[in-house]
């Protein structure tokens, strides 16, 4: 039993190290520019050892992206049920917290943007992750706006779909600019935008 437990812990540690190293490689070189041989070498494991944990490069990328999502949720301390129940104002505050966190983790943002740039079709292993993330964000924001319109907390003439597109485009666009210009104050820019957004949707009177 002790030997089995020790082997299991050793396997978990090896898997964790591979994901950490792969995270850096995919964030720096993208999926196409990364190789299992280089990842294995930096993780101090043989390539066959790496393939024992992740049978393909596609499987490794998907594990890295899943780890990224788990870390995002852990940092915010917000569960999916709580997130789905937020009104639009609280959701904007949540996104402000996310932006503040993101500027402390450049590799995490690079990974997401490289994955989105490369995943140009269903044959790419990150395609489902990229499109799923977009669908989730869209449904989250649109649902909050629709609930607030029904409750009278948001102007009835606001188009939830158009407002959602504007919000997502601003978050992604600021991150893209920041990846090119590290001194860009994305937090200040985004909070300026959300203040304008709150004022824009507020009912008259």
Name the pLDDT band for 205 (thresholds 50, 70, 90).
low
What pLDDT does 194 receive?
98
What pLDDT does 4 receive?
64
Instruction: Indicate the CATH number for domain 78-205.
Output: 1.10.357
Instruction: Indicate the CATH number for domain 1-60.
Output: 1.10.10.60
What's the average model confidence in pLDDT over 170-188? 94
Rounded Cα distance between 127 and 124, Å, is: 5
Name the pLDDT band for 3 (thresholds 50, 70, 90).
low
Q: Per residue in 17-54, pLDDT tens?
A: 999 999 999 999 999 999 999 999 999 999 999 999 99
What pLDDT does 78 receive?
77
What pLDDT does 66 receive?
87
Higher pLDDT: 41 or 75? It is 41
DSSP notation for the chain = -HHHHHHHHHHHHHHHHHHHHHHHHHHHHTTTT--HHHHHHHTTS-HHHHHHH-SSHHHHHHHHHHHHHHHHHHHHT--HHHHHT--HHHHHHHHHHHHHHHTT-HHHHHHHHHHHHH--STTSTTHHHHHHHHHHHHHHHHHHHHHHHHHTSS-TT--HHHHHHHHHHHHHHHHHHHHH-TT--HHHHHHHHHHHHHHHHSPP-
- Which sequence spans correspond to the domains of the chain? 1-60, 78-205
């Amino acid at each position: 039993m002790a030997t089995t437990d020790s082997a299991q812990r050793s396997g978990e540690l090896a898997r964790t190290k591979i994901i950490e190293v792969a995270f850096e490689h995919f964030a720096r070189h993208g999926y196409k520019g990364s190789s299992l041989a280089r990842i294995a070498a930096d993780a101090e494991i043989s390539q066959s050892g790496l393939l024992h944990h992740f049978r393909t490069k596609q499987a490794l990328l998907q594990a890295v992206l899943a780890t990224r999502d788990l870390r995002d949720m852990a940092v915010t301390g917000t569960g999916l049920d709580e997130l789905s129940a937020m009104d639009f104002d609280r959701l904007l505050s949540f996104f402000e917290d996310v932006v503040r966190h993101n500027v402390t983790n450049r590799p995490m943002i690079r990974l997401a943007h490289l994955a989105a740039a490369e995943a140009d079709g269903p044959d790419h292993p990150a395609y489902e992750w990229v499109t799923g993330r977009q669908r989730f964000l869209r449904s989250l924001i649109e649902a909050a706006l629709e609930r607030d319109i029904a409750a009278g907390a948001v102007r009835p003439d606001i188009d939830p779909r158009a407002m959602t597109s504007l919000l997502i485009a601003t978050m992604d666009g600021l991150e893209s600019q920041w990846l090119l210009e590290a001194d860009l104050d994305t937090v200040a820019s985004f909070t300026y935008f959300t203040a304008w957004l709150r004022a824009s949707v507020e009912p008259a009177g």
